[in-house]
Structure 1
């Protein structure tokens, strides 16, 4: 497999988390196989996550951490994100990254729309892997909630700007997972990293 340019976003706002451990395992294995990895840690990113009322015409200037993230998103051909499932969705700070950084003119083109009126995505040619931790087993996410969080991430966020397909790997139930289970998950993330998938 040719070398991949991989952006990894540890999307848990806490300094230590299962999400970060999964990302670190993926990153280490990918780098060991010669892939070029750029790692972003949500817990260390400093920015105002509130988009505010200014609109796209007068949007807030991107803080250095968001500007670096967006530049690396444009650079990458594969995006890896780990996130916990909180109240059926992603953490507010992680949503803030997308609210602030996915800007017209860099990630989608409002001057060039489809026959359905959707702006042209500008990040085509990239794929994604989401490492989703939760206390809700995958089967219940599908049966009771219609995989809502997966649809939001894959279609309304990443897919909207052209990043497709998005593949998911679920790790659940996570809160009370024992050491053996966590170790197995870490090895699973490393296996994905070694294949850069």
Structure 2
């Protein structure tokens, strides 16, 4: 298997979390197999999460952490993101990354519209893996909530800018998970990293 260029985003806003541990396990295994990895930790990123009122014609300049993230996203051919599910969605600061960094001219082209009026994606040719932690079991997430968070991430964010397919690995219930379970999850993340999938 050829080596891949991988960007990893730990999307948990706390400096220590299960999401961070899953990212570390994935990264260590991927690097051990020779893949090139660039890591971004949401808790350490400094930027204004509010896009504001300026519109796309006069967006806020990207702070250095967002500029590095977007540059590494463009460089990569595989995107790995870990996120907890909070209130059925992603943490506000992670949503802020999407709002601020995925801009027209870099992530999608508003000058190139398809027959449905959708702008052309500019980050095509990349695949994605989402490491999703939650207290909602995967079966409930699908049957009760219709996989809303997965549809949001894969269709309305990553897919919109051309990153697809997006595959998910769910880790639940995450709060107070016994150590034996956490260790099995870390091995699973490492297995994904070793294969760069």
SS at match of 2:176: coil
Q: Secondary structure at the match of 1:25?
A: helix
Note the 1:23-172 alignment, pairs <5 A: 23-172=23-172
Tell me which residue corresponds to 1:16.
16
CA–CA distance in 2 between the matches of 1:12 and 1:107? 23
Aligned-partner SS, 2:144: helix
Deviations 1:97-130 (A, max 9, x none): 0000000000100000110000000000000000
* Aligned-pair CA distance for 1:176: 1.5
* Structure 1 outlier segments of 4+, above 6 Å: none
- CA distance in 2 between counterparts of 1:106 and 1:13 reads 25
Report deviation, 1:46. 0.1
Instruction: Compute the RMSD of aligned alpha carbons.
Output: 0.3
The 3-state SS of whatever aligns with 2:71 is helix
> Between Structure 1 and Structure 2, how many residues are aligned?
197
Partner of 1:186: 186
Query: Could you list the runs of 5+ residues in structure 1 that have no partner in the other structure?
Result: none
SS of the equivalent of 2:57 reads helix
Normalising by the residue count of structure 1, what TM-score does the alignment of the two structures yield?
Answer: 1.00
Residues 141-184 of structure 1 show CA distances to partners (whole Å, capped at 9, x for unaligned) of 00000000000000000000000000000000000101000000
TM-score by length of 2: 1.00
How far apart are 1:53 and its partner, in Å?
Answer: 0.2
Residue segments in structure 2 that go unaligned for 5+ positions in a row: none
